[in-house]
Amino acid sequence: MTINTQHIYNVRDFGAVADGMTNDGPAIQAAIDRAAANGGGRVVLAGGTFLAGIIRLKSNVTLEITESATLLASPDINDYAADVHRNRYRNETALDRCFIYAEDAHDFALVGRGTIDGNATAFPNEGSIYRPMMIRMLRCHNVHVENLRLYESAAWTTAFLDSEYIWIRGLDIKNDKRYNGDGLDFDGSAHVFVSDCYVRGTDDNFCLQSSSKDYPVHDIHVTNCEFSGVCAGIRIGLKSIGDIYDVTISNCTLDHVWREGIKLECTEGGAISDISISDIVMRDVTRPIFAVLNNRFELDDYGTSVELDHMPEIGTMARISISNVTATDSEEMANVHRRFTDDVMGEPKFAGIRFDAADGHPIEDVTIDGLRYTFIGGVKTSDIPPLNDYPRLVDKLVEPDVKSSENYWPDWSRTAFMDLRNVHGLDLARVRLRSIRPDERPAVLLDGCTTYAEPDIVVNGERAR
């Protein structure tokens, strides 16, 4: 980075009082603006709780929150500006505001060993729908976010949009007070380096999205992280208008994830390819691996991109390598798990490893090598509909009454362990599957798949035929 760290600006010199009640936002912003005007520098928060509304980061400036400081989001929604881009999911305008924002900035940083507190329980305010995200960065490059505690955002913790050369290190993220409790989200971003982070939340912990063909997502590196969440530990896609490729994820643990551990969704016409995921250990994850290739456009759906206004052609998914994955259930996984009180996330009949593609649009070249999956089991065939009632993935414009384009439906699985449908060029090696309780469903189904070699699968100590 090219930041001039010789210039240090203490926000108290600009009128900040750090009593947790006075709005110190104007003082913090004045210090950042002064540093930027002088060619760069370091703005320091130390000793106390600094209450603030929107803060705009600038080029060549480091904002440091020291271990003795907390930056607390103001509970007054009027302290958050509207000109901070938007959330890119249709029908989620409640998430448009944000706490810390940067646009068209370069060579800057948000660092320290202190805490940024999103004050989640203060939102939404009376008469307001808005729950501000904690951090949003648009069209930025050469960005460092390091060593901070990012706690209780009112919506997503971070959103890096159409940006590149991003270093994320040593973050402690806890975001479990509200829906949309994402951790690290990257949309249209490239050359991303994430390491040594802990992420816990109520939605996706780590997420790659592509809202535009103009900003492909590529050269993504993730290592040495721990994820614990509700919807997904590692998610690639859903928003997939543009391409996502050249992604490597390794040496991570996933603990208590009530839906998917590794999730790949190409549902908006783009391409997801050249993905390598290795050396992953999961404990109590409902669906360890999930991949789907289809169309999921619904005009009124929360999971549809703002940028998408029509049903796209089905995209492609290819060259997916998943190796050395250990997923183990405890007795906890015999239970139904919910997000908060009423939103069912997972249960034994919903569990397992699933690859699924629309007919005529297979997922290509998939390797699963070195998988050890211990599943709670215990599902009886009487607990689920007949296997031949399992729906095909269809185009809703052709069959609008069929619900199967919804990626999380049906809420049951045909198999105890693995259900792979329409995968061409499949290589299954050193796959070891075990159930804790007897399960009456087939162990593995390969439906419409072609394989390079005889699959090497052992189920409960016996080689599968």
Token output for 140:
């930025």
Domain that holds residue 373: 203-463
**Dist. CA 313–CA 294, nearest whole Å:** 9
Evaluate whether residue 240 is within a structural domain: yes
Q: Each residue of 313-324: pLDDT tens digit?
A: 999 999 999 999
Interval 75-88: pLDDT, tens? 999 999 999 999 99
Q: Note whether residue 167 is domain-resident.
A: no
Q: Considering the domain boundaries, does residue 160 fall inside one?
A: no
From residue 23, alpha-carbon distances to 29, 47, 54, 78 in Å are 11, 16, 11, 12
Tell me if 17 is assigned to some domain: no
The total domain count for the chain is 1
What pLDDT was estimated at residue 311? Answer: 83
pLDDT for position 339: 92
For residue 277, pLDDT over 70 is answered with yes
CB of 148 closer than 8 Å to CB of 173: no
Across residues 16-28, what is the average pLDDT?
98
User: Higher model confidence: residue 301 or residue 10?
Assistant: 10
Handedness of CA 14, 18, 22, 26 (dihedral sign): positive
- Contact 363/355 with Cβ under 8 angstroms? yes
Residue 439's contacts (CB-CB under 8 Å, 6 or more residues apart) are: 375, 377, 378, 379, 416
Please tell me whether residue 166 adopts helix, strand or coil conformation.
strand
Q: Is residue 454 part of a domain?
A: yes
pLDDT of residue 404: 42
Collapsing DSSP to helix, strand or coil, 31 comes out as: helix
* CA dihedral over 43, 149, 102, 213, signed as positive or negative: positive
* Residue 306 or 261, more confident: 261
pTM: 0.96
- Tell me what pLDDT residue 108 has: 98
pLDDT at residue 181, as a whole number: 96
pLDDT band, residue 312 (cuts 50/70/90): confident
401: left (phi over 0), alpha (psi -120 to 50) or beta: alpha
Choose among 229, 218, 140: nearest CA to 184: 229
Determine the Cα–Cα distance for residues 378 and 395; give it in Å rounded to an integer: 34
Task: Indicate whether 89 belongs to any domain.
Answer: no
354/419 Cα distance (integer angstroms): 5
Residue 96's pLDDT is: 98
Which range has the worst mean pLDDT, 17-26, 64-73, 397-406?
397-406
Q: Do residues 118 and 152 lie in contact, with contact meaning Cβ atoms separated by under 8 Å?
A: yes
d(CA 162, CA 88): 12
Instruction: Give bridge partners of residue 269 from the DSSP assignment.
Output: none
What's the pLDDT score for residue 300?
76
Q: What is the pLDDT of residue 76?
A: 97
Query: What is the structure's pLDDT at 394?
Result: 66
In terms of DSSP H, where are the helices of 290-403?
none
In angstroms, the CA 335 to CA 342 distance is 14
Q: Identify whether 288 is preceded by a cis peptide bond (ω within 30 of 0).
A: no
Domain assignment present for 212: yes
Separation between Cα atoms, residue 120 and residue 201, nearest integer Å: 12
pLDDT on residue 52: 98
Specify the range with the lowest mean pLDDT, choosing from 93-107, 325-339, 387-401, 433-447. 387-401
pLDDT at 1 over 80: no
CA dist 418 → 144, 278, 329, 350, 351 (Å): 40, 19, 15, 12, 9
Task: Count CA atoms within 13 Å of residue 406 on its CB side.
Answer: 12
Q: By the 8 A CB rule, do 97 and 132 touch? A: yes
Contact by Cβ (8 Å): 275, 236: yes
Q: What is the pLDDT of residues 239-249, one digit of tens each?
A: 999 999 999 99
Express each pLDDT in 344-375 by its tens digit. 999 999 999 999 999 999 999 999 999 999 99
pLDDT, mean over the chain: 94
Sort 395 into a burial class: Cβ within 10 Å, 0-12 / 13-18 / 19+.
Answer: middle
Let me know if residue 152 belongs to a domain: no
> pLDDT by residue (tens digit) across 380-427?
999 999 988 888 876 555 555 554 445 777 889 999 999 999 999 999
Residue 288, pLDDT > 50, answer yes
pLDDT at 301: 76
What are the pLDDT digits (tens) for 326-349? 999 999 999 999 999 888 999 999
- Evaluate whether 239 touches 266 at the Cβ level (below 8 Å): no
Question: Residue holding tokens 């010199």?
Answer: 13
Lowest mean pLDDT among 34-43, 113-122, 337-346: 337-346
Contact (CB, 8 A) for 339 and 378: no
Question: In the predicted model, what is the mean pLDDT of residues 47-65?
Answer: 98
How far is residue 41's CA from residue 108's CA, in Å, rounded to a whole number? 9
Kindly state the tokens that stand for 102: 């940067």
